Amino acid sequence: VAPVTMNAFELISKSQGLNLGTLFEK
């Protein structure tokens, strides 16, 4: 999907910094 067709928040939510799941990975 070309980023231009996505809304800004969809893109931002892909940030690694927002993926708190990694806190639980040992």
Q: Which residues bind another protein (CB under 8 A)?
A: 3-4, 6-26
- Can you read off the two tokens belonging to residue 2? 């070309």
Compute the least distance from the CB of residue 11 to another protein, in Å.
Answer: 6
Q: How far is the CB of 16 from another protein (least distance, A)?
A: 6
The three-state secondary structure class of 6 is coil
> Smallest distance, Å, CB 2 to another protein?
9
CA triple 16-7-12, angle to 5 deg: 15
